Amino acid sequence: MTVHLEVTADGVGTLRLDRPPLNALDIALQDRLRALAGEIAGREDVRAVVLWGGEKVFAAGADIKEMRAMDHEAMIARGRGLQDAFTAVARIPQPVVAAVTGYALGGGLELALCADVRFAAANARLGQPEILLGLIPGAGGTQRLPRLVGPSRAKDLIFTGRQVTAEEALTIGLVDRVLPAEEVHEAAHAWAARLAAGPAIALRAAKEAVDGGLDAGIDTGLAIERTWFAGLFATADREYGMRSFVEDGPGKADFRTRS
């Protein structure tokens, strides 16, 4: 298998790319990624997700040999499937953190953009080099990148195809933390485990409200927020969380073991 899902007892699911040496994102990997993203969305035992390419590389981009053999007609037929695979990851309702080591280029960066936050190794290199092939990003990069770093910075990266270091990526808001390479996965897992102990429905609501508002505009976003905020008052997590606050003080609730 080119992608694996491993779920630990703390409720963290690791979505691990496994196509050595560089995790090139061929069609088989894309389809497997979409299938596992759909599986995660329906699993109650997966409360947060780590997106991980391994210790040496996140994903160095598309499988260029496979892509080169495709003509215009073939790419029209495949383009939707390519985007759908990445959109499935972006729409995982649980919190998702990308643990980026080594290269995250082209489709690799586009995949990392589908996560809610990104932790990068100090040796990471990120970029959208499609322009150097006479192409543009085709798996969401022209849309998700400017939403994250702003249109001017996104255009700079897309127009030039240049790679940025982890430190520059942190400066422009492309990643959220930079750590030594050997600490990236552990830190990402710890972030995910902390959220896995939180209220699952409220976390899904928060993600949907933020993402939905960014896509649709503030008025629609406020309506989504208002609906979810009121709806959460019907959940057992809300009752437990408020009771824990009153009886034990703030920050003491573990929603995995609520009673």
The alpha carbon torsion through 148, 151, 157, 161 (nearest 10 deg) reads 120
List 24, 53, 60, 130, catalytic entry: 130
Pairing of strands 12-17, 3-7: antiparallel
* Other CB atoms within 10 A of residue 69 CB: 9
Measured CA distances, 43 to 92, 170, 228 (Å): 11, 32, 21
Is there a catalytic annotation at residue 85? Answer: no
Is 107 catalytic? The answer is: yes
CA 254/CA 171 separation, integer angstroms:
34
- Catalytic member of 13, 54, 107, 141: 107
Measured over all CA atoms, what is the biggest interatomic distance in the chain, rounded to whole angstroms? 65
Run of H or E including 212: helix 200-216
Number of alpha carbons in the 13 Å side-chain half-sphere of residue 233: 5
Q: Is 62 one of the annotated active-site residues of the chain?
A: yes
Handedness of CA 101, 104, 109, 114 (dihedral sign): negative
Closest C-alpha to 197, from 257, 254, 116: 254
CA angle 100, 87, 121 (to 5 degrees): 5
What is the spatial distance between Cα 82 and Cα 14, in angstroms, rounded to a whole number? 21
The catalytically annotated residue of 24, 37, 62, 112 is: 62
User: Exactly one of 110, 124, 127, 139 is catalytic; which is it?
Assistant: 110
Residues marked active site are found at: 62, 107, 110, 130
